[in-house]
Amino acid sequence: MLPPALVASQLVKAYRRGRAVDGVSLTVSRGERVGLLGPNGAGKTTTLLMCLGAVRPDAGTVEILGHRLPRERDRAMRGVGFAAGYLPLPDHMRVIEYLRMFGRLAGLRQPGLAAAAALERFGVAHLARAMGTELSSGQKTLVGIAKAVLHRPDLLVLDEPTASLDPDVALRVRTALCEISATDGTALLVTSHNMVEVERLCERVVFLSAGRVVADGTSAQITEDFGRDDLEEVFLHLAGVREGG
């Protein structure tokens, strides 16, 4: 039996201002689509960065596809794709050059073909020859997601993936991500401030608040547990609790 896409156990991370993450455990099964939600400062990004090996936890462990970080980081990363809405594209590269580079970093034999297929999938094949500086923020986001999926990863981690997209393009991205998950068995771990998007894209939601997991289940279960009508109300409730201390 294949190991889960991600197993994070009892992650703790403290900075000078206090504990950013305080005992978070998170498992994402193969092919599962999980949303990681929480108000600003809840510890989402720190949790993601620890899960990706970019930040070392003070305590706790991370395993990706059965590979323990940091010891087996390079093997783990072969199966991981990552995109964040806030990460820019390099100024001095064409889109196709950028994607080919990441294809090479992922070990692909034919990165050009994989890059072209990924651009096609997200409807931006016409941008292949464009420079990073010539793209709109939405186009950059799409290219970033194409970069994350071009090697067909087993775990796709997306931090605010559709923050700068028009609703129709965001829908296209969600549809493509669901297809990838269904056809390749790719697990998704997604953070977003768009509750509607998370409800549509993710089958499971993990809510963080003050560095801890405060809810974990389907969006229907969570709204019921908190006695609210939808995830947005849960979010506002948790943000209010946080604000009020």
Partner 1 sequence: MPGRPATFGPLAAGVWRVLAIAQRHAYVLRRSPHRLFDVVVWPAVDVVLFGSIGIFAASRSGTGAQQVALYLLVGVVLWHVVYQAQIALATGFLEETWSRSLLSLMVTPLREWEYVLGVALFGLVKLVFGVGAVALIAWLAYAFKVTSVGFGLIPIAALLLAVGWAIALFVIGLVLRFGSGAEALAWGILFVVMPLSGTFYPVSALPGVLRPVAQLLPTTHAFAAGRALASGQPVPWGEFGMALGGTTAMLAAGIAFLVWMLRIFRARGFITRYS
**At closest approach, how far in Å is the CB of 207 from partner 1?**
22
For 64, counting Cβ atoms within 10 Å of its Cβ (0-12 exposed, 13-18 middle, 19+ buried), the class is buried
Q: Looking at beta carbons only, is 52 or 213 nearer to partner 1? A: 52
Q: Nearer to partner 1 by C-beta: 49 or 170?
A: 49
Do 153 and 81 touch, CB atoms closer than 8 A? yes
CB 72 to partner 1: min, Å: 11
Whichever of 190 and 222 has its CB closer to partner 1, that residue is 190
Least distance (Å) from partner 1 to the CB of residue 154?
10
CB of 94 to partner 1, least distance (A): 8
Of residues 15, 23, 32, the one with CA closest to residue 177? 32
Nearer to partner 1, 39 or 132 (CB): 132
Q: Nearer Cβ to partner 1, position 157 or 231?
A: 157
Q: CA-CA distances (angstroms) from residue 120 to 33, 64, 126?
A: 23, 28, 8
CB of 168 to partner 1, least distance (A): 21
Work out the angle at residue 88's Cα, subtended by the Cα atoms of residues 145 and 203, and round it to the nearest 5 degrees: 35
Angle, CA of 178, 179 and 182, to the nearest 5°: 85
Q: What residues make contact with partner 1 under the rule CB under 8 A?
A: 13, 15, 20, 45-46, 49, 52-56, 58, 70, 74-75, 77-78, 80, 82, 84, 86-88, 90-93, 97, 100-110, 113-114, 117-118, 121, 147, 150-152, 157, 183-184
- Residues 37 and 190: their CA atoms lie apart, in Å, by 8
